[in-house]
Chains A and B, each alone.
Chain A
Amino acid sequence: MARDTLTGSRIRERRIMSGIRQAELARHVDISASYLNLIEHNKRRIGGKLLLDIAAVLGVEPSLLTEGAEATLIATLREAASDQRDGEAEVEKVDEFAGRFPGWAGLLAENRRRVGTLEHAVQTLSDRMTHDPQLAASLHEMLTSVTSIRSTAAILADGGEIEPEWQDRFHRNINEDSARLAEISRALVQYLDKVDDASANIGAPQDELDSFLSQHGYCFPELETAPEIEQFAQTNGQGLSAVAGKMLGRLAERYASDAAELPKDRLAEAVEVHGLNPWAIAQTLRADPDLVLRRLAVWGEALGLGPLGLAVCDASGTLLLRKTIDDFPFPRFGSACPLLPLFEALSRPGQPIERVVSMPGQDEKPFRAFALCRVLMTEDPRMASLSETVMLIAPLDRAAPEGTQPVGVSCQICPRERCRARREPSILGAEA
C-alpha cells in the first residue's frame, strides 16, 4: 500500500496514542463514527477541511498524517531488511509498516543503527587482532611460553623415572618460562591500557558526528564571525567520543574558514540575484564553486531556497559528510549509488556537474544536483594527489523533465532491476 493512501492508518494511530475514542473524535469533527471507521481503515480518502479538523483535534500537523514516515526511516528499514539472512521481511509493505506503527518502526530503525555500529566495532577489533603486530607478537610469545610450561610440567607430573640432571633442567626451564610469561602478561596489560582510550569508542565516529550535525541543522552561527574553534570543539565535543571530537574540531576549522571566505551576507546578496544557481553565484563572487555549494548547504534554507542536502566524498568515494533531506537519503553503511552526480564529478575534476536526478518511490521525486570535484594538489609530483567532491541536492519544484537520471540510495535497497550500474541484486521487488 502506498504511503499517501495510509492517511487513515496514521489518524487511527495518532488517535489511539492520544487516548481519544473513535466516537469522540468523530463527534469533534462532525462526522459519524462509522464514517471515521472507514477513513481509519483507508477505505475512504480524506483531505481538505476534514483532514485539517482531525489534525487540529489530534494536535498534529496535517502533513504528519498525509506524509507519514520520513524517507530516512523507510531507507533504514529497507537496509535492516537487506541484512536479513533467514526469513523474509515484507519489504513491499515497509511504508505501511512505518506509517501504521511509527513507534515500532523507529525502534527497529534505531536497533538497526545500533547493530551497524556494533558490527563496525567488531570489525575494528578484528582488524586490530589481525593486523596489530605488537598484539600478535605478544600473543605468540605467550602461547610459546605456555606450551613450554605445559609440556615440561606434564613430564614432571607424569611420575616416570627422570634423571636428577633432567629434573633440574626442567625445573629451571619452568622457572624461566613462568618468569617470561609474567613479563609478557605485564607488558600486554600495559599495552592494552594504552589503547583503551582509543577503543572506548570503536563505534562509528562518523555516525556520531552526523548525528551531532543533524541535531544542529548543520548550521553553527558561533563559527561565522570571530570563531573560537578550540572552545567550540571543547564545548560541543563533550558528548562525543575522542575520535568524533577530533573530527568535529577539523570540521569546525573548515566551517570557520568557509565562513571567513564567503560570509553569509555576501552569499545572501548573490542568492537574491541568482537564486539557486551556485555556478553563477561563484562567478559573481569570484569564489570557488565547491565553497559556494558548502555555504549554500548551510544557509540556503534560511535564505529561502528550501531544504538543501549535501554530500562530500574523498578520492576513494567514501562519504565524509551526509546532510540528508526528505526523500533523498544517503547510505549509512556500504556503497552509495554510483550514478549519483557526486561520483560523476569525481571522474571529471574541476568541471561543474549539474543534473536532474530522481529517487525511486511512489512518485519518483525529482531533485537538482550540483556537484564539483576539487583536486588538492601535492607539492611533490611523485605523491598521489587528493581530491574532495561536493554535491548539493535540492528538491525540484516541478515534474521530472525528460532526461532525468534515475538514481538510488544503494543497490541493495534499490528497485531498479535493470539498472546498468547495478553491483548486486536488490532485496526489493522489480521496478513497477
Chain B
Amino acid sequence: MGKRVLLIEDEPNIIEAISFILSRDGWTVETHANGHDAVDVVQGNLPDVLILDVMLPGKSGYDILRELRESHGRSELPVLMLTARGQSKDRDLAERAGVNRFMTKPFSNAEMLDAVRDLSEA
C-alpha cells in the first residue's frame, strides 16, 4: 500500500483529476468535500500529505490548518494548500497558519505531483 494523501476540495471534477494523477503515481487518495468536519477527518485519516483547498463550505482552509497545528498538535503534517487567489496577503495568511507549500490555481499536473512528492520526502 502506497503513501496516503488526503485531498480536501469541494470541486468534484478537480477531485477526480487530482485523484487520478496521484493514484497513477502510486498514492492512496482519500477525499473529503467540506470544511465543517475536515479536522476530524484528518485526525481519523492520518495521511502522509494533506492537500487542502482554501475556499471550502463551512470552514476555510486557513482555519482548518490553524486548528490542526495549534489545537491538535499536527505540526509535522505536510500540507499543500490550493487557492484561486495568489496575492501576497493570501500567502501570508497561509504561512501564518503553518502551510508547507502554497499553490495557485490553475496549476500543472506535474507541478502538483512534484509538490506532493517533495512534501512526503521532506
Q: How many of chain A's residues touch chain B, expressed as a range?
A: 20 to 34
B108: A residues at CB distance < 8 A: 150, 154
CB-defined interface of B81-99 with A at 8 Å, one 1/0 digit per residue?
Answer: 0001100000000000000
Segment among A83-91, A138-146, A210-218 that sits at the interface with chain B:
A138-146
Q: How many of chain B's residues touch chain A, expressed as a range?
A: 10 to 19
User: B20 and A144: CB pair below 8 A?
Assistant: no
A152 at the interface (CB under 8 A from B): yes
Neighbour of B84 across the interface among A140, A154, A173, CB < 8 A? A140
User: A169 and B105: CB pair below 8 A?
Assistant: no
A170: B residues at CB distance < 8 A: 16-17, 20
CB distance from A257 to the nearest CB of B (A): 46
With A144-B105, A146-B105 in contact, do A151 and B84 touch (Cβ < 8 Å)?
no
B71 at the interface (CB under 8 A from A): no
A166: B residues at CB distance < 8 A: 20
A147 at the interface (CB under 8 A from B): yes
User: B16 and A173: CB pair below 8 A?
Assistant: yes
When C-beta atoms are compared, the residue in chain B nearest to A141 turns out to be: B84
User: A144 and B11: CB pair below 8 A?
Assistant: yes
B73 at the interface (CB under 8 A from A): no
Neighbour of A152 across the interface among B17, B55, B84, CB < 8 A? B17
Neighbour of B109 across the interface among A140, A143, A155, A177, CB < 8 A? A155
With A146-B105, A147-B105 in contact, do A177 and B21 touch (Cβ < 8 Å)?
no
B21: A residues at CB distance < 8 A: 151, 155
Instruction: Give complex CA distance A322, B21 in Å.
Output: 64
- Interface residues, chain A, with chain B CB atoms under 8 Å away: 139-140, 143-144, 146-148, 150-152, 154-155, 158, 160, 166, 169-170, 173, 176-177
Enumerate 7 A-B pairs (CB-CB under 8 Å) in ascending A order. Answer: A140-B55, A144-B105, A150-B108, A151-B17, A154-B108, A160-B24, A176-B13
